[in-house]
A and B are shown apart, each in its own frame.
Chain A
Amino acid sequence: MPSTTISSYDEMLDAEGNVRPAYAGYREWYEAQSPKWLEKQGKNAEDVFRRTGITFNVYGEDAGQERLIPFDMIPRIITADEWKKLSRGIDQRVRALNAFLHDLYHKREIVKAGKLPERLLAQNEAFLPEMVGFTPPGGVYTHIVGIDLVRTGPDDFMVLEDNARTPSGVSYMLENRETMMAMFPDLFTKVAVQPVSEYPRALARSLATCAPPAAQGSDRPVLAVLTPGIYNSAYYEHAFLADQMGAELVEAGDLRVVDGRVCMRTTRGWRAIDVLYRRVDDNFLDPLTYNPDSMLGVAGIMDVYRSGGITIANAPGTGIADDKAIYSFMPEIVEFYTGEKPILKNVPTWRCSEADALAYVLDHLPELVVKEVHGSGGYGMLIGPTSSKGEIAAFEKKLRANPDNYIAQPTLSLSTVPIFTKAGLAPRHVDLRPFVLVSPHGINITPGGLTRVALKKGSLVVNSSQGGGTKDSWVLAE
């Protein structure tokens, strides 16, 4: 990909080339290391990842083909003050998301107030009629949220995407830290970094507080993680989380509705599950309600859910909140439910379903990023500035044929963070996905997150499915 001409905010160095405060301690340590040794450590890290099996499967390649996500050993560093502000913004946004979901499936005040067009919901596949009038246990819709952030300046963090259905990547956040601590123990004695290792326990606690009515009175609700199986791209993460939480890792074939409860087949017989952290999409969750061909779900689970026999996390139907068409309304949504001005900005977004916006987008395609409303993982998108005339013309046809399916955004000058190369440190574009847990008692944000990094010079694509890598993300202690 050719390099972008936009000048970006460098998170380590200021315009004069001085090291910013966030990186001061790290740089001092880094300068004292031998580059050869660092390079060797980088290779060792890769071996550790491979041996541990921290891999993901790539769809479209041979079945069972597993790949490593490239790991870069230079941490992305955020100061305690920056994090405080970010946390407030995330907290506010996640509160709004949950209130919004509750409203959508109940009174729809936001539509009545004229802040959100009805048709966005009516045509939306992510909206599930089965959830109308039903409140999930604990009143929580999206128990686990990943908010994708990009930075464009010293004080400018913007939300690129809300992942309210099944955000993944948290295992990389945890393993990246483990790897860094194993490789550079002395570094952590020099620079005080807030720990992330509490996450799995916090997740287990958070889920347990949302136990269904059927489990009331039991002091330890039975928790299970539902995975599509070993060939799923995020299988490693599913196994990792189940392991860390001490929960069972179940597949569809292990589950059945018995006496009004969802049960797993154990060597001692059927055992009821109270809270199911599911990593399969809504559409596959219940062949009786949704996709009848689904082999990944449990027949009848929606009936059990609605009768209070199980908690499903995240709740079915939460996907409507991270729809890209809804995204463009997030500033209004945040204000409507919290009564406050949004702390985190949205990226300006043109909804191609609107005639004026479509006309603008068609005129400016070479400058814009165009995305499918329901797309994810960097698929089905156009990055105007780095696309050929032919690619733009082809995309224009798709856009004209089905404008409702697209949104467009300006090409952002994403901040850069250094990566380790044989020639020394070199800046590359990054984003950040912090992980948020929601329980009836409040919102818990792990200090850090997953930093994804484009490995090619100038590239803005950080998705692992498109060859991006990851880094450890540090939030400095106060």
Chain B
Amino acid sequence: MLGRSAWGIFWMARYLERAENTARLLDAGFRMALTRGNTVASDEWRSVLVTLGMDEFYTGDMSGPAITNWLLRGAGNSGSVLSMMEAARTNARMVRTAITREVWEVTNESWMQLQSLLAKPVKEADLGHVLDVIRRQATSVRGAMEGTMLRNDIFNFARIGTHLERADNTARILDVKYHVLLPSAAWVGSRLDNAQWEMVLRSVAGERAFRWLHAGALDPKGIAQFLILDGRFPRSLAYCLRKLTSNMEWLCRDYHQETAAYRMQKEACDKLSKTTITDIFEHGLHEFITEFLATNRLVADAIAADYRFTE
């Protein structure tokens, strides 16, 4: 396939995943605001921006609706859900000959629906519905890919995009919880702390799975372990790395060429599988995540070079 097509499908998958994660984060922030009131919840709202790397936008007395609208449809915000869905759709158009008709149509339809839903500022009363639509659309696109695409290099490039992006998002969410949300270490284990952990779980759609595995208990270490090391949870770092490794291994086999990116990825995956949550906390969660994100970025760059995404 064309390097540009591989690049297009990789980014299409990344944008879709990122748009979905932004909606999930907003949903978590929204829940917090509902239970705590907009003023008190401003820290939580701000944390949503920080997680997305957009804290420079924060002006200090920003209301929830202003932040949600900025993140959903802000004019000039290339990281808004609408911009990212448009970017995903533009990439899909570019690689139309590489994706199935169903994948194209559902992507195109999602974008059309969002365009009309987000034509005007979203009122608080409609936010739940809008976020719901975004999540469902993301699910539909994934479903169409899963159900109709040939399992070839095109599919693998899409999966690599999805899992790289997802790992990145989960790691950022964890990092923010540890370094932004808590006013001081004295709050650890407080009611506020627990509520925030619940938000973290919610934003990765993991609250039910976690409760189920841990009989309703909410402890930070347990949650961190769940999100980093539990290979059964599809948004955990361990799961994403394993998937990434197998997708990249598939490409190496199909192309009869073991790449530098694959070796790097394999090493990171093996290392994580030997790591315990105690190791991570001793090393420092923030340090661990910083290193994780850096490796992720290097792997992404190496893939782009190995498969000639651009010149």
| B222 CB, min distance to chain A CBs, angstroms | 42
Bound together, the chains give a CA A64 to CA B101 distance in angstroms of 21
Question: B3 in the interface, Cβ–Cβ < 8 Å?
Answer: yes
- Besides A53-B105, A53-B108, A267-B2, 15 new A-B residue pairs in contact (Cβ under 8 A), listed by A number: A50-B112, A51-B109, A230-B93, A230-B94, A243-B97, A248-B97, A249-B96, A250-B2, A253-B4, A254-B3, A264-B2, A265-B4, A265-B308, A265-B311, A267-B6
How many chain A residues touch B (CB < 8 A): the figure is 23
3 cross-chain pairs, A with B, having the tightest CB-CB distances, nearest first: A267-B307, A239-B96, A243-B97
Contact assessment for A242 and B3 in the assembled complex, using a CB-CB cutoff below 8 Å: no
* In-complex Cβ contact of B1 among A239, A243, A251, A266 (8 A): A266
* A 222-249 contacts with B by CB, 8 A: 229-230, 235, 239, 242-243, 248-249
**A253 to B308 Cα, complex, angstroms:** 12
Once A51-B108, A52-B105, A230-B90 are accepted as A-B contacts, the answer to whether A251 and B4 lie under 8 Å apart by CB is yes
Cα of A235 to Cα of B97 in the assembled complex, Å: 12
- Name which residue of chain B comes closest to A265, CB basis: B3
Q: How many B residues touch the partner, as a band?
A: 20 to 34
Nearest opposing residue in chain A for B307, CB measure: A267
- Within B62-112, which residues are at the interface with A (CB < 8 Å)? 90, 93-94, 96-97, 101, 104-105, 108-109, 112
Report the separation of the CA atoms of residues A86 and B20 in the bound assembly, to the nearest whole angstrom.
55
A269 adjacent to chain B (CB < 8 Å): yes
Residues of A within 8 A of B (CB): 50-53, 64, 229-230, 235, 239, 242-243, 248-251, 253-254, 264-269
Known: A265-B2, A268-B255. A53 touches B104 (CB 8 A): yes
* B1-27 residues at the A interface, CB under 8 angstroms: 1-4, 6
Residue in chain A with minimal CB distance to B92: A53
Task: Evaluate contact between B96 and A243: CB separation under 8 angstroms.
Answer: yes
Q: Which residues of B contact A51 (CB under 8 A)?
A: 105, 108-109, 112
Query: Is B153 interfacial (CB 8 A cutoff)?
Result: yes
Closest chain A residue to B310, Cβ basis? A253
CA distance A230 to B308 in the complex (A): 21
Nearest CB in chain A: distance from B73 CB, A:
17
Residues of B within 8 A of A266 (CB): 1-3, 308
B2 touches A254 (CB 8 A): yes
Chain A residues lying within 8 Å of B96, measured Cβ to Cβ, are 239, 243, 249
A267-B255 contact given A243-B97, A254-B2, CB 8 Å threshold: yes
Q: Which residues of A contact B2 (CB under 8 A)?
A: 248, 250, 254, 264-267
Q: Give Cα A50–Cα B112 distance, bound, in whole angstroms.
A: 9
